[in-house]
Chains A and B, each alone.
Chain A
Amino acid sequence: MSALFSGYRRVTMPLSREDARSLRAGDMVLLDGEITITAGLPTHHRILACAEAGRDPPIELRNGSLLHLGSYSQDTADGGLEVLYMNPTTSTRFNPIMPRLIRHFGLTAVGGKGGLDAACREAMAEVGCVYFSFLGGGAPLHSGAITAVRAVAWNDLVAHYRLVRLAVEGLGPVTVGIDAQGNSLFETLSEQAQDRMPEILAQLDRDRAAAVRPG
């Protein structure tokens, strides 16, 4: 297992603005420090409501991270909390809300899986923020990197929607999907696939012509 984690740059969370600006799309890194996570749309609405009313959310987000990771946390016998497992969710669901949150809180890192859109990418370039792509289906690895639960807020929501602050060590490796210079792997790859599509369809035609004909 250890070979999986060797050779990666490690960055400290919350990510400093300088570190955020030093990362490039395609880089792979491991995360140490403290992260704030949620997988809930209602949670995003509440954070947005805080921003609009000028109130602080129950867990400080300013110059911090907001990652689209869902977790199952439960009480421990000694009165603490433990996270049993954690994994990313699809970030694109939050596209309409993220630009406002990125700007208002000056986030340095967002993340999840599947990327964010151009409006988010622009907000990220403005403030100096990166997007980390986590492995979906990576719960055994992600969960193993959690060292402590620092805070859980909005307990009226289902577990994976709550806003949770965690201490992590060696979380990842994660891929920088969008960097603070305005480069997005997701947009580049989508445009590239779009550009390739006429040739892909032409190749399908050639392959079909060479293959067995129906009935």
Chain B
Amino acid sequence: MPITQDAVKTLSAQLYDWSLRRVPDDTKDALRRARATETHEGAQRVLEIMLGSAMRAEKEDRFVCSDAGVPVFRVTLGAEARWEGDIKAAIRDGFAELVDRIKPPLLKHVTNPLTNERGYFGKDMPLVTWEVESGVDWIEIACQPKALGSGRWAQAETFSFPSLAEIEAYVMKAVMQAGSQHCPPVIIGVGIGGSFDVAAKIASKATYRPIGSLNPEPVLAAMEERLLRAVNATGFGPMGTGGDTTALAVHVDYSSGHGYTPVAVCFNCWINRRTRARLHADGSVERME
């Protein structure tokens, strides 16, 4: 049975809506662990207030942040998936219908970069990354709305045959530039290699990985661990007002490339908006988070 245009439309809109109202469980757990180990008194309190805000959003079905950001999706098409209709239009239509019905209403965040005018719609919005996965027959849709804390501080730079030391120093440079401004503690995604666009895509995808999951590449697992210690040694702390907890996780991935090596670094703010679900061939919806 082919996956329908309507199913994609409904699910993509739901994933955006859900992401606004709930901090993922792994993120709340990480905040609790940080609260237990944090030595800075003010930071302990800020972490408690964060958890209080997260719990209240769930209980009262409120938005965690007023900046709902712009809708950003990553769609993974199973190479053996069958679908009918225009699934690209489905995501656009799903968002348009959501804008009409969502309670409370969304603020206008979609911005024309040439005029800075803001509205609900614009060129190429929602922003979608399309991927193909071999050997599966589902379509997976992931949503990560992007606003200032979750988008503004990302950056990329291209090096020639960099050492790991140079790559890690660049990550720390990006952390210093974000400083107190990206609603820490953040989840940091690092993409190494490929081409310019591929590095950015890898970095962004890395932020979706659950906190606490082990990188299967031992070299990267070790890099993630030491970078997390390094970021937290800066002392910016929760909301950038001081403390031991500036990041909850650093996730690194790579792609082979030419030797000119782009390195991309991006951040997701502490509320870590992130939802994901799969549409299966039998018509069922499997919500992962």
Contact = CB atoms under 8 A, between A and B. Distances in A.
B235 A136 contact: no
Interface string A11-41: 0000000000000001010000000000000
22 contacts: A4-B49, A28-B45, A72-B107, A90-B149, A115-B181, A115-B240, A135-B50, A135-B53, A136-B271, A139-B63, A159-B108, A160-B66, A175-B241, A185-B241, A186-B179, A200-B172, A200-B230, A203-B226, A204-B165, A211-B223, A213-B219, A214-B219
Contact of B172 (A136, A186, A201): A201
B89 interface: no
B164 interface: yes
A77 interface: no
State the main secondary structure of chain A at its contact with B. Answer: mixed
Given A72-B105, A137-B269, A194-B176, A26 B64 contact: no
A193 B240 contact: no
Given A70-B67, A114-B181, A173-B45, A203 B230 contact: yes
B57 A140 contact: yes
Number of chain A interface residues as a range = 35 or more
Contacts of B179: 114, 186, 189-190, 193
Interface in B31-79: 42, 45-46, 48-50, 52-54, 56-57, 60, 62-67
Given A72-B107, A196-B235, A212-B219, A141 B176 contact: no
Q: Which of A87, A136, A192 has the largest number of chain B CB atoms within 10 A?
A: A136
B57 A201 contact: no
Contacts, number: 187
B226 A208 contact: yes
Given A114-B181, A193-B236, A214-B164, A136 B269 contact: yes
Task: List 5 A-B pairs, minimum CB-CB distance, nearest first.
Answer: A87-B66, A114-B181, A211-B222, A136-B183, A207-B226
